[in-house]
Amino acid sequence: MNAPVIDQEKLQSFLMRAVGDLASAYGGVMVVGLGHKLGLYRAVAGAGPISARELAARTGRAERYVREWLNAQAAGGHVDYHAVSGTYELSPEQAMVLADEESPVFIPQAWEVPVSMWLDEEKAIEAFRTGKGVARGDHDGRLHRGVAGFYRNGYRASLVSAWLPALDGVVEQLETGIDVADVGCGHGYSTVLMAQAFPRSRFHGFDVHPASVEEARLNATKAGVAERATFEVARRGLPRPAVRPHLLLRRPARPGRPGGRRPPRRDRAGARWHGHARRAVRQRPPRAEPDAGRPALLRGLDHHLLRPRDVGRPRPARASRGGGR
Protein backbone atom coordinates (compact mmCIF):
# COMPACT_ATOMS: atom_id res chain seq x y z
CA MET A 1 0.00 0.00 0.00
CA ASN A 2 1.41 3.35 -1.02
CA ALA A 3 1.91 5.96 1.69
CA PRO A 4 -0.35 9.03 1.31
CA VAL A 5 1.24 12.16 -0.09
CA ILE A 6 1.19 14.90 2.54
CA ASP A 7 0.54 18.44 1.36
CA GLN A 8 2.75 20.40 3.75
CA GLU A 9 0.84 23.64 3.20
CA LYS A 10 -2.49 22.00 4.08
CA LEU A 11 -0.87 20.26 7.03
CA GLN A 12 0.49 23.51 8.48
CA SER A 13 -2.82 25.27 7.90
CA PHE A 14 -4.79 22.60 9.74
CA LEU A 15 -2.20 22.35 12.51
CA MET A 16 -2.44 26.09 13.16
CA ARG A 17 -6.21 25.79 13.31
CA ALA A 18 -5.94 22.97 15.86
CA VAL A 19 -3.45 24.96 17.93
CA GLY A 20 -5.87 27.89 17.81
CA ASP A 21 -8.63 25.64 19.14
CA LEU A 22 -6.32 24.57 21.95
CA ALA A 23 -5.42 28.17 22.73
CA SER A 24 -9.11 29.12 22.93
CA ALA A 25 -9.58 26.40 25.55
CA TYR A 26 -6.80 27.94 27.63
CA GLY A 27 -8.41 31.33 27.10
CA GLY A 28 -11.67 30.03 28.50
CA VAL A 29 -9.99 29.10 31.76
CA MET A 30 -8.39 32.54 31.89
CA VAL A 31 -11.72 34.26 31.27
CA VAL A 32 -14.21 32.39 33.42
CA GLY A 33 -11.91 30.99 36.07
CA LEU A 34 -9.68 33.99 36.62
CA GLY A 35 -10.51 37.26 34.89
CA HIS A 36 -14.23 37.24 35.61
CA LYS A 37 -14.40 35.51 38.99
CA LEU A 38 -11.43 37.38 40.45
CA GLY A 39 -12.75 40.74 39.29
CA LEU A 40 -9.69 41.49 37.18
CA TYR A 41 -11.60 42.65 34.10
CA ARG A 42 -13.76 44.97 36.17
CA ALA A 43 -10.68 46.47 37.80
CA VAL A 44 -8.95 47.10 34.45
CA ALA A 45 -12.05 48.57 32.79
CA GLY A 46 -11.94 52.35 32.74
CA ALA A 47 -8.63 52.49 34.59
CA GLY A 48 -6.56 53.56 31.58
CA PRO A 49 -3.07 52.11 31.17
CA ILE A 50 -2.30 50.05 34.28
CA SER A 51 0.67 47.95 35.35
CA ALA A 52 0.58 44.47 36.80
CA ARG A 53 1.68 45.85 40.18
CA GLU A 54 -1.09 48.45 40.20
CA LEU A 55 -3.74 45.89 39.22
CA ALA A 56 -2.53 43.46 41.88
CA ALA A 57 -2.72 46.19 44.53
CA ARG A 58 -6.16 47.31 43.38
CA THR A 59 -7.63 43.80 43.49
CA GLY A 60 -5.63 42.28 46.37
CA ARG A 61 -4.21 39.52 44.16
CA ALA A 62 -0.67 38.16 43.91
CA GLU A 63 1.39 40.32 41.54
CA ARG A 64 3.25 37.39 39.94
CA TYR A 65 0.03 35.69 38.87
CA VAL A 66 -1.61 38.93 37.81
CA ARG A 67 1.36 39.63 35.54
CA GLU A 68 1.11 36.18 33.95
CA TRP A 69 -2.62 36.64 33.47
CA LEU A 70 -2.17 40.05 31.83
CA ASN A 71 0.48 38.70 29.46
CA ALA A 72 -1.78 35.83 28.44
CA GLN A 73 -4.65 38.28 27.90
CA ALA A 74 -2.47 40.54 25.76
CA ALA A 75 -1.28 37.58 23.69
CA GLY A 76 -4.88 36.56 23.08
CA GLY A 77 -6.01 40.06 22.17
CA HIS A 78 -8.28 40.44 25.20
CA VAL A 79 -6.39 43.47 26.51
CA ASP A 80 -4.08 45.97 24.82
CA TYR A 81 -0.40 46.11 25.78
CA HIS A 82 1.66 49.31 25.70
CA ALA A 83 5.26 48.21 25.24
CA VAL A 84 6.88 51.58 26.02
CA SER A 85 5.28 51.92 29.45
CA GLY A 86 4.85 48.21 30.14
CA THR A 87 1.16 48.76 30.93
CA TYR A 88 -2.09 47.14 29.92
CA GLU A 89 -5.44 48.62 28.97
CA LEU A 90 -8.98 47.42 28.27
CA SER A 91 -10.59 49.21 25.33
CA PRO A 92 -14.26 50.27 25.58
CA GLU A 93 -15.20 47.49 23.16
CA GLN A 94 -13.29 44.86 25.13
CA ALA A 95 -14.88 46.13 28.34
CA MET A 96 -18.39 45.70 26.90
CA VAL A 97 -17.70 42.03 26.23
CA LEU A 98 -15.56 41.15 29.26
CA ALA A 99 -16.21 43.59 32.12
CA ASP A 100 -19.62 45.28 31.92
CA GLU A 101 -22.09 42.79 33.42
CA GLU A 102 -25.05 44.87 32.20
CA SER A 103 -23.84 44.94 28.59
CA PRO A 104 -25.96 43.01 26.06
CA VAL A 105 -22.75 41.43 24.73
CA PHE A 106 -21.24 40.42 28.09
CA ILE A 107 -19.90 36.89 27.54
CA PRO A 108 -17.70 35.51 30.38
CA GLN A 109 -20.51 33.48 31.94
CA ALA A 110 -20.98 31.59 28.69
CA TRP A 111 -17.63 29.91 29.29
CA GLU A 112 -19.31 27.90 32.03
CA VAL A 113 -20.91 25.81 29.25
CA PRO A 114 -17.71 24.28 27.81
CA VAL A 115 -16.45 23.82 31.37
CA SER A 116 -19.54 21.74 32.11
CA MET A 117 -18.92 19.68 28.98
CA TRP A 118 -15.49 18.65 30.28
CA LEU A 119 -16.96 17.81 33.67
CA ASP A 120 -19.63 15.69 31.95
CA GLU A 121 -17.14 13.95 29.67
CA GLU A 122 -17.66 10.49 31.16
CA LYS A 123 -21.44 10.83 30.84
CA ALA A 124 -21.07 11.84 27.20
CA ILE A 125 -18.79 8.87 26.50
CA GLU A 126 -21.34 6.54 28.06
CA ALA A 127 -24.12 8.13 25.99
CA PHE A 128 -22.17 7.48 22.80
CA ARG A 129 -21.70 3.84 23.82
CA THR A 130 -25.31 3.17 24.82
CA GLY A 131 -27.32 5.75 22.90
CA LYS A 132 -29.29 6.60 26.06
CA GLY A 133 -28.33 10.25 26.21
CA VAL A 134 -27.82 12.52 29.22
CA ALA A 135 -30.85 14.00 30.95
CA ARG A 136 -30.86 17.78 31.30
CA GLY A 137 -30.89 17.59 35.08
CA ASP A 138 -27.90 15.23 35.10
CA HIS A 139 -25.53 17.77 33.57
CA ASP A 140 -23.10 19.67 35.75
CA GLY A 141 -24.68 22.80 37.23
CA ARG A 142 -22.34 25.05 35.29
CA LEU A 143 -24.23 24.22 32.11
CA HIS A 144 -27.44 25.77 33.44
CA ARG A 145 -25.67 28.79 34.92
CA GLY A 146 -23.74 29.38 31.70
CA VAL A 147 -26.78 29.21 29.43
CA ALA A 148 -28.85 31.45 31.71
CA GLY A 149 -26.06 33.98 32.14
CA PHE A 150 -25.33 34.13 28.43
CA TYR A 151 -28.94 34.87 27.44
CA ARG A 152 -29.86 37.12 30.38
CA ASN A 153 -28.50 40.39 29.03
CA GLY A 154 -29.82 39.69 25.55
CA TYR A 155 -33.29 39.43 27.05
CA ARG A 156 -32.76 42.67 28.94
CA ALA A 157 -31.72 44.49 25.81
CA SER A 158 -34.29 43.19 23.36
CA LEU A 159 -37.18 41.15 24.76
CA VAL A 160 -39.56 43.90 25.88
CA SER A 161 -38.28 46.69 23.64
CA ALA A 162 -37.93 44.82 20.33
CA TRP A 163 -38.96 41.16 20.24
CA LEU A 164 -42.44 41.41 21.74
CA PRO A 165 -43.52 44.55 19.81
CA ALA A 166 -42.54 42.81 16.56
CA LEU A 167 -45.29 40.23 17.11
CA ASP A 168 -48.90 41.07 16.28
CA GLY A 169 -51.18 41.51 19.26
CA VAL A 170 -48.81 40.30 21.97
CA VAL A 171 -48.13 43.56 23.78
CA GLU A 172 -51.81 44.54 23.77
CA GLN A 173 -52.80 41.25 25.40
CA LEU A 174 -50.06 41.49 27.99
CA GLU A 175 -51.04 45.04 28.85
CA THR A 176 -54.70 44.02 29.24
CA GLY A 177 -53.80 41.16 31.57
CA ILE A 178 -53.44 37.47 30.74
CA ASP A 179 -52.01 34.29 32.23
CA VAL A 180 -48.93 32.85 30.59
CA ALA A 181 -47.41 29.39 31.01
CA ASP A 182 -43.67 29.63 30.33
CA VAL A 183 -42.54 26.06 29.79
CA GLY A 184 -38.81 25.38 30.02
CA CYS A 185 -38.21 28.66 31.89
CA GLY A 186 -34.68 27.95 33.15
CA HIS A 187 -33.58 30.64 35.62
CA GLY A 188 -36.63 32.71 34.75
CA TYR A 189 -34.85 35.82 33.48
CA SER A 190 -37.19 36.43 30.54
CA THR A 191 -40.26 35.59 32.63
CA VAL A 192 -39.26 38.08 35.32
CA LEU A 193 -38.61 40.77 32.73
CA MET A 194 -42.09 40.35 31.29
CA ALA A 195 -43.63 40.38 34.77
CA GLN A 196 -41.87 43.68 35.48
CA ALA A 197 -42.98 45.19 32.17
CA PHE A 198 -46.61 43.99 32.26
CA PRO A 199 -47.98 44.28 35.82
CA ARG A 200 -51.52 43.21 34.85
CA SER A 201 -50.42 39.81 33.55
CA ARG A 202 -49.44 36.71 35.51
CA PHE A 203 -46.64 34.33 34.56
CA HIS A 204 -46.20 30.68 35.51
CA GLY A 205 -42.79 29.14 34.77
CA PHE A 206 -42.10 25.42 34.56
CA ASP A 207 -38.86 23.51 34.24
CA VAL A 208 -37.73 19.93 34.95
CA HIS A 209 -34.51 21.12 36.60
CA PRO A 210 -35.19 21.80 40.32
CA ALA A 211 -32.09 23.95 40.86
CA SER A 212 -33.07 26.21 37.95
CA VAL A 213 -36.57 26.58 39.37
CA GLU A 214 -35.15 27.60 42.75
CA GLU A 215 -32.92 30.15 41.04
CA ALA A 216 -35.92 31.49 39.10
CA ARG A 217 -37.85 31.94 42.34
CA LEU A 218 -34.96 33.87 43.85
CA ASN A 219 -34.74 36.09 40.78
CA ALA A 220 -38.47 36.81 40.95
CA THR A 221 -38.22 37.68 44.65
CA LYS A 222 -35.26 39.99 44.10
CA ALA A 223 -37.17 41.75 41.32
CA GLY A 224 -40.27 42.15 43.49
CA VAL A 225 -42.58 40.17 41.16
CA ALA A 226 -42.83 36.86 43.03
CA GLU A 227 -46.62 37.22 43.40
CA ARG A 228 -47.08 37.41 39.61
CA ALA A 229 -44.19 35.25 38.45
CA THR A 230 -44.34 31.80 39.99
CA PHE A 231 -42.18 28.80 39.16
CA GLU A 232 -42.75 25.07 39.58
CA VAL A 233 -40.86 21.87 38.83
CA ALA A 234 -42.62 20.16 35.91
CA ARG A 235 -43.45 16.51 36.53
CA ARG A 236 -45.64 13.89 34.96
CA GLY A 237 -48.86 12.98 36.68
CA LEU A 238 -49.82 16.40 38.08
CA PRO A 239 -53.56 17.10 38.23
CA ARG A 240 -55.14 18.82 35.27
CA PRO A 241 -55.96 22.48 36.03
CA ALA A 242 -59.57 23.58 36.31
CA VAL A 243 -58.85 26.58 34.07
CA ARG A 244 -57.00 26.21 30.80
CA PRO A 245 -53.93 28.38 30.25
CA HIS A 246 -54.80 31.57 28.43
CA LEU A 247 -51.54 31.38 26.51
CA LEU A 248 -49.13 28.48 26.60
CA LEU A 249 -45.49 28.57 25.64
CA ARG A 250 -44.40 25.26 24.22
CA ARG A 251 -41.94 23.77 21.84
CA PRO A 252 -43.56 22.99 18.48
CA ALA A 253 -43.94 19.35 17.49
CA ARG A 254 -43.49 20.39 13.88
CA PRO A 255 -43.05 23.71 12.04
CA GLY A 256 -46.01 25.58 10.71
CA ARG A 257 -48.76 24.18 12.91
CA PRO A 258 -51.97 26.23 12.50
CA GLY A 259 -52.49 28.64 15.36
CA GLY A 260 -48.84 29.19 16.12
CA ARG A 261 -45.79 30.86 14.69
CA ARG A 262 -42.12 30.21 15.16
CA PRO A 263 -39.78 32.75 16.73
CA PRO A 264 -36.06 33.22 16.16
CA ARG A 265 -34.12 30.09 16.92
CA ARG A 266 -32.24 29.45 20.15
CA ASP A 267 -30.87 26.19 21.50
CA ARG A 268 -32.96 23.02 21.35
CA ALA A 269 -31.83 21.53 24.65
CA GLY A 270 -35.37 21.54 26.09
CA ALA A 271 -37.73 18.58 26.00
CA ARG A 272 -41.40 18.66 24.98
CA TRP A 273 -42.87 20.30 28.03
CA HIS A 274 -46.32 21.23 26.73
CA GLY A 275 -47.97 18.07 28.04
CA HIS A 276 -46.61 18.75 31.52
CA ALA A 277 -47.74 22.37 31.45
CA ARG A 278 -51.29 21.48 30.50
CA ARG A 279 -51.51 19.37 33.64
CA ALA A 280 -49.45 21.60 35.92
CA VAL A 281 -50.40 25.22 35.27
CA ARG A 282 -52.65 26.88 37.81
CA GLN A 283 -54.08 30.32 37.22
CA ARG A 284 -57.15 32.53 37.33
CA PRO A 285 -59.37 33.07 34.27
CA PRO A 286 -58.14 35.79 31.89
CA ARG A 287 -59.38 39.31 32.54
CA ALA A 288 -60.15 39.98 28.91
CA GLU A 289 -61.34 37.82 26.05
CA PRO A 290 -58.36 37.05 23.77
CA ASP A 291 -58.42 37.65 20.05
CA ALA A 292 -58.59 34.06 18.83
CA GLY A 293 -57.50 35.14 15.37
CA ARG A 294 -54.13 36.33 16.62
CA PRO A 295 -51.83 33.60 17.90
CA ALA A 296 -49.42 35.27 20.30
CA LEU A 297 -45.79 34.55 20.92
CA LEU A 298 -44.43 35.55 24.28
CA ARG A 299 -40.82 34.60 24.08
CA GLY A 300 -38.17 35.05 21.39
CA LEU A 301 -36.98 31.47 21.69
CA ASP A 302 -37.66 28.12 20.03
CA HIS A 303 -41.27 27.97 21.25
CA HIS A 304 -44.67 28.96 20.02
CA LEU A 305 -48.03 29.54 21.67
CA LEU A 306 -51.26 27.62 21.49
CA ARG A 307 -54.50 29.53 21.30
CA PRO A 308 -56.88 28.76 24.20
CA ARG A 309 -59.03 26.47 22.07
CA ASP A 310 -55.99 24.32 21.22
CA VAL A 311 -54.96 23.64 24.83
CA GLY A 312 -56.00 20.21 26.00
CA ARG A 313 -57.28 19.14 22.58
CA PRO A 314 -56.23 15.52 21.89
CA ARG A 315 -53.85 15.05 19.00
CA PRO A 316 -54.55 12.62 16.19
CA ALA A 317 -52.55 9.41 16.41
CA ARG A 318 -49.52 9.19 14.16
CA ALA A 319 -48.68 6.24 12.00
CA SER A 320 -45.79 4.21 13.35
CA ARG A 321 -42.49 4.52 11.53
CA GLY A 322 -40.24 1.58 12.04
CA GLY A 323 -41.46 0.75 15.52
CA GLY A 324 -42.50 4.22 16.67
CA ARG A 325 -40.73 6.71 18.92
Residue 194 phi, psi (nearest 5): -70, -35
Per-residue pLDDT of the chain (325 residues; tens, 9 = 90+): 688 899 999 999 999 999 988 888 888 887 777 899 999 999 999 999 999 999 999 999 999 999 999 999 998 899 999 999 999 999 999 999 999 999 999 999 898 999 999 999 999 999 999 999 898 888 999 999 999 998 998 899 999 999 999 988 989 999 999 998 888 899 999 999 999 999 999 999 999 889 999 999 999 999 999 999 999 998 754 444 434 455 554 433 344 444 443 443 333 333 333 333 333 333 333 333 333 333 333 333 333 333 333 334 444 334 333 443 3
- Tens digits of residue pLDDT in 250-277: 433 344 444 443 443 333 333 333 333 3
Classify the phi-psi angles of 140: left when phi > 0, otherwise alpha if psi is within -120 to 50, otherwise beta: beta
Rounded CA-CA distance 82/64 in Å is: 19
Instruction: Indicate the fold that domain 36-100 takes in CATH.
Output: Arc Repressor Mutant, subunit A (1.10.10)
What is the residue extent of each domain of the chain?
Answer: 36-100, 155-310
